[in-house]
Each structure stands twice: as C-alpha cells, then as structure tokens.
Amino acid sequence: MPKNAKKGGWSENKLRVAEAMATGSETQGEIAERFGIEQSTISRWKHEPEFLQKIDDITLTLERHTLAGMLRRIDEQQINTTVGEKEWLKIEEFRAKLLGFDKLKVEHSGSVKTENVTIYIPKNDRN
C-alpha cells in the first residue's frame, strides 16, 4: 500500500505519525523528517480531534504494557475490590518483584502483634 493510500480515511503516513507521536521519543521535527512531510502538516493534524484521539488511544495502549501501567492496574484492583489478607500479600509480593525488590527476612527484638513481617528492599547488587 502506498504511503498516501487511505485506510479508513487515514493515510498510512498519518497513522504512523500518530504512532510516533504517541511514543514521545522524537520531536515533531524529527517525525516530520523521518516520514518526509512538512512540520506544518503535523501541526495541522494536531488540530483535528480524531488525530489527537488516535494519539491518546495509542498512548494508552502503550502505557498498559509498561511497568507503570501494570502497577497502576494493581493499585486499581486493590482499590476497587475487597481482597483478603492472603490475596493482598500476593499482590504486594508481585508488585515488589515488578519493582525489582528482594525479599528480606529481618531479625528483630521486642514485641510484634503479627506472626510475620515482610520487608522488600531494592536490589542494588551490594551486600
């Protein structure tokens, strides 16, 4: 399909520009140069609600696959549901693994009103 061929009213270039803008890794000028279009064309597209919505949709899809997105969904799950203590601990353990924390057993003196205390610390390759 040629670059300017329409797919559902969108040229292939326009869709690819929206995808590139959603990643946020390039400036508008760099995107224009990469796709061989004028920056003014991108500026014009940015005034179209459908184009902005496409960027938002792609951004949201990409964000769902990031670490921040996974952690946000874990938080939402905990907030929006009532989970028991065992389920909550499993969720927290999963969150710690995502963040790269090590589980550490700590000796303590004094009284604690629970059987176990779990502490997670960031991995730093130091002992």
pTM score, whole prediction = 0.49
Residue 107 and residue 60: Cα distance in Å, rounded? 43
Establish how many alpha carbons lie within 13 A of residue 95's alpha carbon, considering only the half-sphere containing its beta carbon: 18
Please give the pLDDT value at position 29. 93
Please give the pLDDT value at position 31. 94
pLDDT digits (tens, 9 = 90+) for 71-80: 776 666 666 5
Helices marked H in the chain? 12-23, 28-35, 39-45, 49-64, 67-80, 85-98
pLDDT digits (tens, 9 = 90+) for 93-124: 777 776 677 666 656 666 656 666 565 555 55
60 pLDDT band (50/70/90 cuts)?
Answer: confident
**Residue ranges covered by each domain of the chain:** 6-64, 84-122
pLDDT digits (tens, 9 = 90+) for 10-52: 888 999 999 999 988 899 999 999 999 999 999 999 999 999 9
1 pLDDT band (50/70/90 cuts)?
Answer: very low
Please give the pLDDT value at position 5. 47
Long-range contacts of 2-8 (CB under 8 A, 24+ apart): 3/35
Please give the pLDDT value at position 24. 84
